[in-house]
Amino acid sequence: MKVRRSTQQVTLSAVLIAIGLLIPVLSPLKIILEPASFTLASHVPIFIGMFISPTVGLAVALGTTAGFFIGGFPLIIVLRAFTHAAFAFLGGWMLEKKPQWIENKKTSFLFALLIGVVHAIGEVAVVSLFYFGGEMTSAYYAKGFLTTVFILVGVGTIIHSMVDFFISQVLWESLKKNVKEKRDRILFD
């Protein structure tokens, strides 16, 4: 039974990683707030992984990081993807302890906000490294650190993260029956 759990975790994580690699490349829905751009639903596979378990969430975050690296994406994108591991694991762990946090609108909003803040801290840390290392485009420097890194990347990431979280929740409601059967088998077999 332990083997079944492990095999299902591996295959579920793998397909979520594959979707996580596809969405940023194929998504027709990009919101551009120059110089930053946000791809709608790009975090959905990580959130779905997080809803399944902290391990799957972590695996999807790290797997997409490795995939972006192998796919030749710029280093900054790879490192930003790496920071997703923190909120994926933390969120998964919190939901494992108290799954009711995403069962009503108020607690869902607060949970999404908390995850968004953790998410933003990671992204701002990476972008700041590149910003102070002189590796960003001139447009970032033209508007200054506060506007581009703190407001656009920081606040922008919180909003983007929350939007993706709510998309994931809608998706999760539809998938729940299908996934719950699998998750129950994974966790309790």
Partner 1 sequence: MDKLIFGRYIPGTSWIHRLDPRAKLLATMFFIIIIFLANNWQTYLLLLLFTLLAVKLTDIKFSFFINGVKPMIWLILFTVVLQVLFTSGGETYFQWGPIMVTSQGLLNGVFIFCRFVLIIFMSTLLTLTTMPLSLTDAIEYLLRPLTKLKVPVYEIALMLSIALRFVPTLMDETEKIMNAQRARGVDFGEGNIFQQMKAIVPLLIPLFVSSFNRAEELATAMEARGYQGGEGRTKYRQLHWQTSDTIVMLTFAVLTGALIFLRN
| Nearest to partner 1 of 25, 110 (CB atom) | 25
Q: Report if residue 48 touches partner 1, rule: CB under 8 A.
A: yes
| Backbone phi and psi for residue 31, each to the nearest 5 degrees, phi listed first | -105, 120
Q: Report if residue 35 touches partner 1, rule: CB under 8 A.
A: yes
* Cα–Cα distance, 21 to 34 (Å, whole number): 23
Q: Which of 33, 50, 72, 95 binds partner 1 (CB under 8 A)?
A: 72
Contact between residue 4 and residue 185 where contact means Cβ atoms under 8 Å apart:
yes
Cα-based distances in Å from 12 to 3, 34, 96, 173 = 14, 36, 18, 18
Using CB under 8 A, count the residues that bind partner 1. Answer: 59
Q: Report if residue 8 touches partner 1, rule: CB under 8 A.
A: yes
* Cα–Cα distance, 137 to 110 (Å, whole number): 34
- Residue numbers of the site for partner 1 (CB under 8 A)? 3-4, 6-19, 21-22, 25-29, 31, 34-35, 37, 40-41, 44, 48, 59, 62-63, 66-67, 69-75, 135, 137-139, 141-142, 163, 166-167, 170-171, 174-175, 178-179, 182
